Structure 1
Amino acid sequence: MLDLLPHETAAIGIRWSLKTRCRRLCRILGGDTKMNKLLRQSVCALALAVASGVGAQAESLRLLTSWDMTMPANIHIVQDYVKRVQEQSEGEIEITVDGPEVVAAFEQIEPVQAGVFQLLFTHPAYHTSVSWAGFALDSSVDPGPEKRREIGLWDALDEAYNKIGLKLIALPGSGNQGYQFVLSTQPSDGENPFSGLKVRGSPSYKPIIEALGGALVVLPGGETYAAMDRGVVDGAGWPLIGFESTKLSEVAKYYVRPTFGSSTYVLLMNLDAWNGLDADTQKTLLDIGADVERDGFAAFEKLKTEEVERMQEAGMEEYAVSDEAAQRMQEAFVKEQRSTALGAGGDETRKVIDIFEANDL
Structure 2
Amino acid sequence: MSAWQCRNVLHRLQVAAAALSFCAIVGSAKAEEITLKSAVFVPPSTTYGIPFKRFVDHVNETGKGVLQIRIVGGPEAVPADGQAQAVKNGVLDIAAIPPAYYKSAMVEGDAQILSNMTVAEQRKSGGYAALNAIAGERMNSMYLTTYGIGVPFHFYVTKEMAITKPEDLSGLRFRGQPNYNALFKHYGIAGVNIAAPEVYTALERGTVQGYGWPLWGINDFGWEKLTKVRIDPGFYNVVNTVLMNKSKYASLTPEQKKVIDDAVVWFEQDDLRYTAEKTKETLELQAKAGIKTVDFGPEFKKLAVSLYWDDLKKLSPDAMAKLQPLLTK
Q: Normalising by structure 1, report the TM-score.
A: 0.77
Q: 1:179-210: CA deviations, max 9, x gaps?
A: 11222124564542222222122211222222
Q: 1:192-245: CA deviations, max 9, x gaps?
A: 222222212221122222233212223443443343234333222111123333
User: 1:7 — aligned with what?
Assistant: none
Give the alignment partner of residue 301 of structure 1, picking from 276, 293, 297.
276
Larger mean CA deviation between 38-47 and 202-211 belongs to 38-47
2: CA distance, partners of 1:40 / 1:233: 75
**TM superposition shift of 1:318:** 2.1
Q: Does 2:23 align with 1:45?
A: yes
2: CA distance, partners of 1:187 / 1:352: 40
**TM superposition shift of 1:41:** 7.5
Gaps of 5+ in 1: 1-37
**TM superposition shift of 1:44:** 5.1
Q: Mapping of 1:74-113 within 5 angstroms?
A: 74-75=49-50, 77-91=51-65, 92-113=67-88
User: 1:137 — aligned with what?
Assistant: 112
**TM superposition shift of 1:335:** 1.6
User: 2:92 — aligned with what?
Assistant: 117
**TM superposition shift of 1:295:** 0.9
Q: Is the 8 A contact 2:38 2:94 kept in 1?
A: yes
**TM superposition shift of 1:116:** 1.8
Calculate percent identity across the aligned residue pairs.
Answer: 23
Q: Does 2:224 align with 1:249?
A: yes
Which residue type is aligned with residue 259 of structure 1?
G
Give the alignment partner of residue 156 of structure 2, picking from 147, 160, 182.
182
2: CA distance, partners of 1:355 / 1:133: 13
Which residue type is aligned with residue 48 of structure 1?
V
**TM superposition shift of 1:355:** 0.9
3-state SS, counterpart of residue 53 of structure 2: helix
**TM superposition shift of 1:101:** 2.5
1: CA distance, partners of 2:102 / 2:156: 24
**TM superposition shift of 1:268:** 0.3
Which residue type is aligned with residue 292 of structure 1?
F
Q: Does 2:304 align with 1:333?
A: yes
User: 1:353 — aligned with what?
Assistant: 324
CA distance 1:171–1:94, change in 2 (3 Å): closer
Q: RMSD over aligned Cα, in angstroms? A: 2.8
Q: Does 2:164 align with 1:162?
A: no
